[in-house]
Amino acid sequence: PTISLLFIFSLTLGTMITMTSSHWLLAWAGLEMNTLAIIPIIAKQHHPRATEAATKYFLIQATASTLILFSSTINAWKTGLWDISQLSTPESTTMLTLALAMKLGLAPLHLWLPEVLQGSTLPTAMIITTWQKLAPMALLLLTYNSLNHQILIALGLTSALLGGWSGLNQTQTRKIMAFSSIAHMGWLFMALTISPNITLTTLLIYLLITSTLFVTLITTSSKTLLDLGTTLHHTPSLLIISMLTLMSLGGLPPLTGFMPKWFILSALITDNKTLISTIMALSTLPSLFF
């Protein structure tokens, strides 16, 4: 218990360091602390799949961290500034965007997320899909002004589409949550091209809904969709809550999850990006289906 408390403490501390830092090295150190703290949490089960998940997670996060360090070093080399908000060289912004996309599990770089979630327990999966998104998102919001919008839009579109389509034939709840997370990160990247406020709103709502859903899954210990179906006799109210939460994640209009998507779509349309907003709206349909 003391050891796991220590891990959870360093997990929170790492994220906090990254969120409050203004110097690239400090932010990188926070990300590293965060990664190193969650790996034993994933591998705690002593199961081959858990070990595999921890290894995959470690490799991905280490690669992304290296890329972040590399991009900040290039930036410091060209401008002489280590300040996070002073990211000005195009090479370093592109590399940073890709590295953070890798950390968040956006499509083309998303294939690790379902595997890692499938290998970890439900509480660990909840940590990975909620808490672990905070530090990279904080970095994205800090460097918001200097990011390349074309890359953000491309990543956001592919993630929303792939996250929607790949989740269709899944039966495992953790994999479904992984693909929903990928799709939502795509929406977040779209929101980044509009305004940081919308991004924050979207992120907060996503975190709230995902945590709710994971808590219901943990209480019923539902590993597959069949397990969810059998909870009807034990806890009908809980099943209703989880169904509503799922619909909210898919973005059905009267529910909370619809609001950020509506914001993003209306902002995209006022920005004359009608085609992109149409594709984004269509990409939510498959995620509603499952």
The single residue listed with the structure tokens 């599990």 is: 105
User: CA-to-CA distance for 285 and 164, rounded, in angstroms?
Assistant: 8
Written as six digits, the tokens of 6 are 């220590």
- 140: nearest Cα among 61, 227, 203: 203
Q: Is the dihedral of CA 44, 48, 52, 58 positive or negative?
A: positive
Task: Give one word for 287, left, alpha or beta, with left for phi > 0 and alpha for psi -120 to 50.
Answer: alpha
Written as six digits, the tokens of 104 are 């968040």
183: Cβ–Cβ under 8 A, 6 or more apart, which residues? Answer: 159, 160, 162, 163, 164, 167, 283, 284, 287
82: Cβ–Cβ under 8 A, 6 or more apart, which residues? Answer: 23, 24, 25, 72, 76
Q: What is the pLDDT of residue 42?
A: 92
pLDDT digits (tens, 9 = 90+) for 23-65: 999 999 999 999 999 999 999 888 999 999 999 999 999 999 9
Q: What is the pLDDT of residue 290?
A: 58
- Note the residue count of the chain: 290
Written as six digits, the tokens of 218 are 């943990």
- 131: nearest Cα among 181, 96, 172, 64: 181
Written as six digits, the tokens of 140 are 């994205």
Angle at the Cα of 199 from the Cα atoms of 196 and 200, rounded to 5 degrees:
90
Q: What is the pLDDT of residue 289?
A: 62
pTM, entire model: 0.89
pLDDT < 50 positions in the chain:
none
- 155: nearest Cα among 112, 114, 196, 191: 191
